[in-house]
Amino acid sequence: MTTKKNTFETIEPVGARVLVLKDEPKRETKGGIALPDASEIPVITGRIVSISRQVEHDQDMPLRQYDKIIFHPKNAIPVDFEPDNQLYVVPVEDVVAVFRKQPGPGKKTGEPE
């Protein structure tokens, strides 16, 4: 008897949620000091991999695919997609900040750099 494994092509969040690839936790400070596991600060930044249709069509929601964000991990749901994955479904109300680049001198917002 053979068993067929289910494989997923894509994951699309539903409702007011985004799919986030969580950043790796930092193991040392910018100055090069190694952090032991016991004092590790949980990483709550990541990159949006996919957004739901509801978020995509909401003009008041400033989230786009590939945005780097800071999110509150309490309600983040881990996705068992692949071994050692870092994917989480995050409600948009738990996204607390979006990283944005400032335009260079003499550039207007939206102009290519």
Would you say residue 4 lies in a domain?
A: no
Would you say residue 88 lies in a domain?
A: yes
Kindly state the average pLDDT of the residues 5-29. Answer: 79
Q: What CATH number does residue 63 fall under?
A: 2.30.33
CA 103 and chain centroid, separation: 23
Question: Which pLDDT value is given to residue 43?
Answer: 63
Sequential DSSP letters for 26-87 = PSB-TT-PBPPGGGPPPP-EEEEEEE-HHHHT-TT----TT-EEEE-GGG-EE--SSTT--E
pTM greater than 0.75 (yes/no): no
Domain range enclosing 74: 17-23+40-98
Question: 41 falls in which pLDDT band (50, 70, 90)?
Answer: low
**Residue 48: Cβ within 10 Å count:** 22
Q: Which residue has the higher pLDDT, 50 or 2?
A: 50
Would you say residue 75 lies in a domain?
A: yes
Would you say residue 7 lies in a domain?
A: no
What domain count does the chain have?
1
Would you state the structure tokens that stand for residue 12, as one six-digit string? 């699309």
Question: Which pLDDT value is given to residue 97?
Answer: 94
d(CA 1, CA 27): 46
Question: 31 falls in which pLDDT band (50, 70, 90)?
Answer: confident
